[in-house]
Amino acid sequence: MSSTEAATAMKTLTELYNSPEKGIMEEQMLYVSRHMMPKLIAPLPRQMGLTDKTSTPVAFFDNACGSGVLTHEIQQMLPKDVLEKSTFLCADNAEGMVNLSKKRVGLDGWVNTEVKRLDATNTGLPENSFTHVGLGLALHIIPDPDAVLADTKRILKPGGIFGATTFHKTNIFWQPDVRSAFESFPFEAPFLKEVKMQMHNQGDWTDPEWIETHLKSQGFVDVQVTTNPGRYHIKNAEEFVMSFGMMLVWLINTAWSEETRREHPVEEVRELLRRHLEEKYEGKGWDIEWKVICTTAKVE
């Protein structure tokens, strides 16, 4: 992915996240947030020291929260008496994600949870406010991750825990199936030469060794970085399209010309993708795999 392609990809993704999520896109986001995404985030809470044995209430900040997957997992995990004494703040800079998280507070019964629109690089939150700050699949996307780290240190209480997930540089995820689908289309459907896991040029959040060294240089202690392979069973072609509908729109808007997008709207592309996968896997399910980096650290 060239620097120009990366800039276009980032702009497209930002537009998707900032658009109010309506109709099929909201349905897709809710579905993936409840099925596949929890498996992607699963290693992080435990690495942050949060389990069903946790006995002390938390003040948790889910920064760049997206649809609140991390918050939901922790609320499902904590003992009821601890949860009732804990507080949660979910914040994102994208209006669509904020609205979706607000909806999930009611739909999924989140306890003691506030949702705000905030800039992850400069939240404006009070110093020494939180026991935990977590970011799920964000630091490889947010353009200024060092600003996020600085703000995180400021708002964590002494001894507070920072946790984040990012995609490993060798992660493939949805790419093989979408690439083979594009190659099968009855028209020229460009696919990015390389789908890089990071959309900015500040450091390398796809490299575990770099992450560990960098966090230590930024003043964090007890730094732990792990690589976590995972998989999810896709039931059928329809579930794949449902799970990766947002990424499909992002890819089309990033890699295709305006003329191609006009001639082949996303509804047509979704159906072509579904048909290809139906044929490729003979109507059966299959596994997709990923590789996620989990990073945790403390502030002194």
Q: What is the pLDDT of residue 260?
A: 97
Q: What is the pLDDT of residue 1?
A: 47
- Using DSSP bridges, classify how beta strands 59-63 and 87-92 pair: parallel, antiparallel or unpaired: parallel
Angle at 113 (CA atoms; ends 141, 149), nearest 5 degrees:
35
Q: What is the rounded CA–CA span in Å between residue 67 and residue 100?
A: 6
| Residue whose pair of structure tokens reads 């890089």 in the numeric block | 196
Average pLDDT score over residue span 278-288: 98
Residue 39: pLDDT above 50?
A: yes
* 186 SS3 class: coil
Q: What is the pLDDT of residue 104?
A: 97
Residue 17: pLDDT above 70?
A: no
Residue 249: pLDDT above 50?
A: yes
Span 127-164, pLDDT tens digits: 999 999 999 999 999 999 999 999 999 999 999 999 99
State the maximum Cα–Cα separation within the chain, in Å, rounded to a whole number: 59
Ranges of each domain in the chain? 3-298
Q: What is the rounded CA–CA span in Å between residue 288 and residue 2?
A: 27
* Neighbour count for residue 165 (Cβ, 10 Å): 24
Ramachandran angles phi, psi of 48, nearest 5°: -85, 0
User: In which band, very low, low, confident or very high, does the pLDDT at 98 lie, cut at 50, 70 and 90?
Assistant: very high
Residue 21: pLDDT above 50?
A: no
| Residue whose pair of structure tokens reads 């002494």 in the numeric block | 158
- Note the pTM of the prediction, 2 decimals: 0.92
CATH code reported for the domain at 3-298: 3.40.50.150
